[in-house]
Structure 1
Amino acid sequence: MSTAVAEEAVPPATGESHPNQFALLRQRRFAPFFWTQFAGAANDNLFKFAFTVLVTYQLQVAWMQPAVAGLVIGALFILPFLLFSATSGQLADKYPKDLVIRLVKWLEIAIMLLAAYGFFGSNVPVLLACVFLMGLHSTLFGPVKYAYLPQHLNERELTGGNGMVEMGTFVAILLGDVAGGLIVAVPHVGAHWVGFCCIALALLGRLAAQWVPPSPATDPGLKINWNPVSETWRNLKLAHGNVVVFRSLLGISWMWFFGSVFLTQFPAFAKEVLHGDEHVASLLLVVFSVGIGVGSLLCEILSRRHVEIGLVPLGAIGMTVFAVDLYFASRGLPPQSADMGVAVFISTGAHWRVMADLALLSLFAGLYSVPMYALIQLRAEPSHRARIIAANNILNALFMIVSALLAGALLAGGATIPQVFLYTGIANAIVAGYIFLLVPEYLLRFFAWVLSHLVYRFRVRGDEQIPSQGPAVLVCNHVSFVDAVLLMAASPRPIYFVMDHRIFQVPVLGWVFKLAKAIPIAPQKEDPAVYDAAFERSAQVLRDGDILLIFPEGGLTRDGQLQPFKGGVMKVLERARADGLEPPVVPMALTNLWGSFFSRIEAKGAMAKPFRRGAFNRVGLNVGAPVPANQAQPELLQQRVGALLAQG
């Protein structure tokens, strides 16, 4: 274990440390940080939107036409992410994160004081400078924001914590935009009030930051490289060192590409396609933000409080389905007069389909993004986690820029806004499919999630006994052909299975187990080469610090009873000791699977009678306390698994 990992003050995974993700708002390790980032996001958007409205409707600026004001402000805000993300990632790794957060909040106060001066004097150059500086503020805060969570939340809390942060961010964006538009519209004094409000929000954020608990530096000896180009390249190489993490970064950046297409087109979509006024455009933003928030919060419920990347393909499917349906919903709208208000808009039934599509595609975007963020936080090396988040911010900015350019090119080429949505939905299916084929773990976890939620009602007890770090050996009874898939769904970490070589010949399941890199084993007398190779690969899994699972019965039960355990587990442990390892052995028992479609209860064998016992049948997994490697004997392990089976 690295020193950085050892120093991280992550609470133990107690399993029931709090009833749900909202309870984190009552805990100091999360609440001050949450309200700090909430105030910052709200301030960003209140300031930007009020400034956009000011130069679009109230000020006459000859050198910046209203039509391009939003693009200029957006570009200035994104520019610091490209220039300074690499540096900000280094700072977040080198210094305590609570110190960095408080310094960033002091910077925000200074920027908002300057912005208030700009609003009081209607000084557009000063306000444009403040847009750039607020982009710098967000650039500095971004790596801290996501690197802070895994230092204070355990694995079972990480998905819920990320869901709360994503929900809070989009609610803050929504409130900031609404408040900025309303306040700046107040005759004569609106701009002054915006200045005061920005200062007040910055002060509130700094006050909340005062209570952020100590968050030690993860790499205090890091030497800062101030060259953004070389450091950006170094950060991308760091991220690329872990294939799953790097491709997850690309997946998140694609989500920002996807979301930017919709967010940037809402005003024009509301005016040109829906024939609504500016309030209808705001309504679309509200619907989109609520969808993201709900999807983010649902992640903890649907993932059983684990980092469940099986939700990512589900999110990608929903994003494509409802983006494509939004195209068809937009084509079938009845003719309307221009500048339709919100009341008239929502009174038309066809518009409800449009709003439902927007709400659902954003909900699925929340399901897509939150597990990816949590996976990056969990799998990235703690010593350079913030720099990997910084690399993600750079990629996000690049993808958003490309999104704007491609959407603009499509529109300039004669495409309609609904057609742009359609092309984006189709592209999402292609890109997501490509990512999932590159990283089969997403598809495997999705398959496991579907089986454990939609085919069976799967209840897991004691999963906190599975070690969150380091090598371990799991032993479990073997009841059905889908045992391994259910065990995938139960474990927060990837599992390498040692399985009878004949199971790889089963249609579909054999393909799944090959994707999962399961280790085939055959009796020594039948195929000595496969037998020896299985134990060598098993030893390598433990040397790599991963989890190995063995079915010690040697095959599927034919009568539903626990069969005698064979000695393979002892051979694995002997090889581990030769490598200087003492992996704990965790006993597990699958319950109520005997008699299911995938078990061998039928005389003809498994999978002979379709829909046997019906869908949504309750099955379970009981996980026992780990047994030290030096005490693990087949008889003792069989006794432990038998006792877990008796619990039902």
Structure 2
Amino acid sequence: MAQNQFSLFKQKFFSSFFITQALGALNDNIYKSALLIFIAFRAGDELGLSSDLLNNIAAGLFILPFFIFSATAGQVAEKYEKSALIRKIKLLEITIMSLAVLGFFINNIWFLLGILFLMGFQSSLFGPIKYSILPQHLSDKELLGGNGMVEMGTFLSIIIGTVIGGMLIGFGDTGIQILCVLLLVVSITGYLSSRHIPQTPSAQADLKINWNPISETWKTFHYARTNRVVFLSILGISWFWFYGAVFLTQIPNFTKVSLNGNENVATMILATFSIGIGLGSALCEFLSGRKVELGLVPFGAIGMTWFALDIYFANPYSEFTGDLGALNFLIQEGAIRTLVNCAFVGIFGGFYIVPLYALVQERCEKNHLSRVIAGNNILNAFFMVIAALLAAVCLGNGMTIPQFFMLTAILNAVVALYIFTLIPEFLMRFLIWILINTIYRVKKSGIENIPEEGPCVVVSNHVSYVDALIIGGTVRRPIRFVMYHKIFKIPVLSFIFRTAKAIPIAGHKENPELLNKAMYQISEALDQGEVVCIFPEGKLTSDGEMNDFKSGIERILKETPVPVVPMALQGLWQSLFSRKTVNKLVDRVKRLRTKVRLVVGKPIPADEATKEQLYTIVSKLRNNKP
């Protein structure tokens, strides 16, 4: 297993796949950028047609194949071995690029627009493979980092391709000749890289392909809706592409009329935005502790709204003519603020999108993943079309581009709140993520002792009101916590505990009915293969020392014999939410950034686990020094 996301490049699969997909994105954007500039400065006048009309035709031709072919492409990716499919798709790319060279040679704009449709077709074939192949080669712990690297490579390829394509067309006939050579070299190099991608078994070899794209698309969405979290994550991904399309499309004109910048400034703004997305994507693994951290999604949504709003507040006017070059622009008041805003819109966009892709890959059944990704690609294309239509309506009726950015930021907040209301798990994970990354500095050891799958009971000492949050935010697998009912009902924490499906419990003398109900829920959760965590002391420590373990753990193991994983929390007695009494102000301040350590021991078979033995093991783990 890779030590971090960058060490993934040591794997033959990942390095080969990363280069293949990045070069594909690079070629797409070199050609698209070159064609759009070609239309704007040469083809429009020659044909006597509006360059805006031709550019809209070009955008439509590239997106159209995603609606027509994605459903079929998803089935093909599911049915056949993926590495061979990738090689065939890359050979198709070489053929298409050869036709593109011919199109530039004969100087036929309609032929070149047809090539753009073929490129959209090729991209629609590769799309379902791009994300469904990762879970077949990467472990769950590598999935988030792998997605982050793929997103980073994609957006860096987008900006590099956009810059190169535009620059080469600007050099006239010589630039076009260099462009043609580059298109062929990049496509051939991508094919050679694809030959090193290891064989990837078919996910469903007996799948019967439905060639009707309409009925298959409907069937795919119907299946995706059976998993509510996956479906709403797909909607969240598609919203990101709506949001991104707004910025990538409007930034050139925004640069001209609101920043008074020329083409070089527009390129700098686009580069800042795309590099931000790449950086945010790369940072996801570092911020999440190598697990799919849903808490980053609300964090990303907040940043996407905040910094987009500030772009409006920093540049509310739209009355310039684009006279400034890059250096002159940078010395203007507010220029750095705008660049920082664009960078952070991209960074928080990376925080938002990468966990959503990883979540879909992790929670969707593997034999349906390619089709679900294909359905997502269709929805992405639909949302991008909606973004273009909304821009046409708003800007055509007098709204300025900064105002349109503000509207998009507000819509982003509304969409985020809607999704997080439907799936409280996102907000719950965000609150936990904030807690363990601000108030506490959590380190962990022995976390690999928790089984990757199957039922088990986790036992721990009980030090503070937020023990469950520390453990739940650190362990990869979802955990059902059993906790004293009065802690379960604490305001704010109650929302988190309910969303995480914690199980409230009480003593036999206090509430025998609640106790019996809790025991039934524990048994049911273990039967379903879940992880259940209990605090056998039955109450918080009042002096920092452990209390004796009660017999509830033995009753649980008697009814449902599963392995027991002992763990211990260190340092929480000094923290803000323990029962320790602190009078001095300086000591209270120190409690705000407490160093906490979670130490996990090896699993113990159910027939060997007694309350006395577990107490002894947890005590040793509690006193274990780093």
> If the TM-score is normalised by the length of the shorter chain, which range does it land in?
over 0.9
CA distance in 2, matches of 1:573, 1:79: 58
Shift of residue 356, structure 1, vs aligned partner: 0.9
Shift of residue 162, structure 1, vs aligned partner: 0.9
AA at the equivalent of 2:73: S
The secondary structure found in structure 1 opposite 2:542 is: coil
Q: Does 1:647 align with 2:624?
A: yes
1:602 matched residue in structure 2: 581
2:134 matched residue in structure 1: 149
1:6 matched residue in structure 2: none
Which of 181-190 and 385-394 deviates more? Answer: 181-190
Question: Residues 532 and 610 of structure 1: is their aligned pair in 2 closer, same or farther, counting only changes over 3 Å?
Answer: farther
Q: Does 1:134 align with 2:128?
A: no
CA distance in 1, matches of 2:538, 2:221: 44
Q: Does 1:591 align with 2:537?
A: no
CA distance in 2, matches of 1:135, 1:573: 57
Question: Residues 570 and 92 of structure 1: is their aligned pair in 2 closer, same or farther, counting only changes over 3 Å?
Answer: farther
Q: Does 1:430 align with 2:423?
A: no
Query: Is residue 597–residue 609 contact of structure 1 (8 Å, CA) maintained in 2?
Result: no
Q: Does 1:568 align with 2:548?
A: no
Question: Residues 63 and 469 of structure 1: is their aligned pair in 2 closer, same or farther, counting only changes over 3 Å?
Answer: farther
CA distance in 2, matches of 1:89, 1:574: 47
AA at the equivalent of 1:622: V
Shift of residue 439, structure 1, vs aligned partner: 1.0
CA distance in 2, matches of 1:504, 1:289: 43
1:405 matched residue in structure 2: 389
Shift of residue 339, structure 1, vs aligned partner: 2.2
CA distance in 2, matches of 1:274, 1:612: 45
Question: Residues 536 and 636 of structure 1: is their aligned pair in 2 closer, same or farther, counting only changes over 3 Å?
Answer: same
CA distance in 1, matches of 2:559, 2:430: 33
Shift of residue 336, structure 1, vs aligned partner: 6.3
Query: Is residue 120–residue 195 contact of structure 1 (8 Å, CA) maintained in 2?
Result: no
Paired-residue identity, % = 47
2:159 matched residue in structure 1: 174
2:204 aligned residue (209, 219, 224): 219
Q: Does 1:533 align with 2:512?
A: no
CA distance in 1, matches of 2:371, 2:544: 51
1:617 aligned residue (594, 614, 620): 594
1:580 matched residue in structure 2: none
AA at the equivalent of 2:29: N
Query: Is residue 317–residue 402 contact of structure 2 (8 Å, CA) maintained in 1?
Result: no
CA distance in 2, matches of 1:93, 1:80: 19
Shift of residue 458, structure 1, vs aligned partner: 0.9
Which of 474-483 and 60-69 deviates more? Answer: 60-69
Shift of residue 187, structure 1, vs aligned partner: 2.4
2:308 matched residue in structure 1: 323
Query: Is residue 323–residue 357 contact of structure 1 (8 Å, CA) maintained in 2?
Result: yes
Q: Deviations over 1:95-137 (max 9, x none)?
A: 1111111111111111111111111111222211211111111
2:426 matched residue in structure 1: 442
Question: Residues 84 and 610 of structure 1: is their aligned pair in 2 closer, same or farther, counting only changes over 3 Å?
Answer: farther
Question: Residues 106 and 574 of structure 1: is their aligned pair in 2 closer, same or farther, counting only changes over 3 Å?
Answer: farther
Query: Is residue 265–residue 417 contact of structure 1 (8 Å, CA) maintained in 2?
Result: yes
The secondary structure found in structure 2 opposite 1:331 is: coil
Q: Does 1:87 align with 2:87?
A: no
1:629 matched residue in structure 2: 606
CA distance in 1, matches of 2:347, 2:582: 46
Q: Deviations over 1:284-309 (max 9, x none)?
A: 11110111111111111111111111
CA distance in 2, matches of 1:630, 1:81: 56
Q: Deviations over 1:371-395 (max 9, x none)?
A: 1111111111111111111121111
AA at the equivalent of 1:344: N
Query: Is residue 582–residue 588 contact of structure 2 (8 Å, CA) maintained in 1?
Result: no
The secondary structure found in structure 2 opposite 1:249 is: helix
Q: Does 1:505 align with 2:489?
A: yes
The secondary structure found in structure 1 opposite 2:368 is: helix
Q: Does 1:483 align with 2:467?
A: yes
Aligned residues: 623
Shift of residue 161, structure 1, vs aligned partner: 1.0
Q: Does 1:360 align with 2:337?
A: no
1:271 aligned residue (236, 247, 256): 256
CA distance in 2, matches of 1:293, 1:19: 20
CA distance in 2, matches of 1:202, 1:512: 49
2:15 matched residue in structure 1: 31
| Correspondences of 1:293-372 after superposition (within 5 Å) | 293-331=278-316, 338-372=322-356
Shift of residue 468, structure 1, vs aligned partner: 2.5
CA distance in 2, matches of 1:469, 1:244: 20
Query: Is residue 104–residue 140 contact of structure 1 (8 Å, CA) maintained in 2?
Result: yes
Query: Is residue 574–residue 591 contact of structure 2 (8 Å, CA) maintained in 1?
Result: no
Query: Is residue 498–residue 519 contact of structure 1 (8 Å, CA) maintained in 2?
Result: yes
TM-score, normalising length: structure 1: 0.93
CA distance in 2, matches of 1:612, 1:500: 28
CA distance in 2, matches of 1:61, 1:462: 69
The secondary structure found in structure 2 opposite 1:594 is: helix
AA at the equivalent of 1:631: E
Question: Residues 72 and 523 of structure 1: is their aligned pair in 2 closer, same or farther, counting only changes over 3 Å?
Answer: same
Question: Residues 351 and 628 of structure 1: is their aligned pair in 2 closer, same or farther, counting only changes over 3 Å?
Answer: same
1:524 aligned residue (489, 508, 511): 508
1:555 aligned residue (539, 556, 561): 539
Shift of residue 610, structure 1, vs aligned partner: 9.6
CA distance in 2, matches of 1:94, 1:240: 22
Q: Deviations over 1:36-94 (max 9, x none)?
A: 00110000001111111112112235374212222221111111111111111111111
Query: Is residue 119–residue 194 contact of structure 1 (8 Å, CA) maintained in 2?
Result: no
2:109 matched residue in structure 1: 124
Question: Residues 124 and 584 of structure 1: is their aligned pair in 2 closer, same or farther, counting only changes over 3 Å?
Answer: farther
Q: Which runs of 5+ in 1 are unaligned?
A: 1-16, 578-582
Query: Is residue 445–residue 488 contact of structure 1 (8 Å, CA) maintained in 2?
Result: no
CA distance in 2, matches of 1:515, 1:313: 16
Question: Residues 404 and 574 of structure 1: is their aligned pair in 2 closer, same or farther, counting only changes over 3 Å?
Answer: farther
The secondary structure found in structure 1 opposite 2:172 is: coil
Query: Is residue 20–residue 191 contact of structure 2 (8 Å, CA) maintained in 1?
Result: yes
Question: Residues 561 and 614 of structure 1: is their aligned pair in 2 closer, same or farther, counting only changes over 3 Å?
Answer: closer
Shift of residue 403, structure 1, vs aligned partner: 1.2
Which of 105-114 and 507-516 deviates more? Answer: 507-516
Query: Is residue 88–residue 143 contact of structure 1 (8 Å, CA) maintained in 2?
Result: yes
The secondary structure found in structure 2 opposite 1:130 is: helix
Shift of residue 633, structure 1, vs aligned partner: 2.6
Query: Is residue 246–residue 391 contact of structure 2 (8 Å, CA) maintained in 1?
Result: yes
Shift of residue 397, structure 1, vs aligned partner: 1.0
Shift of residue 609, structure 1, vs aligned partner: 11
Query: Is residue 276–residue 341 contact of structure 1 (8 Å, CA) maintained in 2?
Result: yes
2:176 aligned residue (181, 191, 205): 191
The secondary structure found in structure 1 opposite 2:569 is: strand
Q: Deviations over 1:214-252 (max 9, x none)?
A: 211111111111111111111112211211111111111
Shift of residue 177, structure 1, vs aligned partner: 1.0
AA at the equivalent of 1:563: N
Shift of residue 159, structure 1, vs aligned partner: 1.3
Shift of residue 603, structure 1, vs aligned partner: 9.6
AA at the equivalent of 2:192: L
The secondary structure found in structure 1 opposite 2:572 is: coil
1:289 matched residue in structure 2: 274
Q: Deviations over 1:520-575 (max 9, x none)?
A: 11122322221121122222222333221111111212222222222323333333
CA distance in 1, matches of 2:614, 2:72: 52
CA distance in 2, matches of 1:612, 1:632: 40
CA distance in 2, matches of 1:630, 1:535: 19
CA distance in 1, matches of 2:450, 2:487: 25
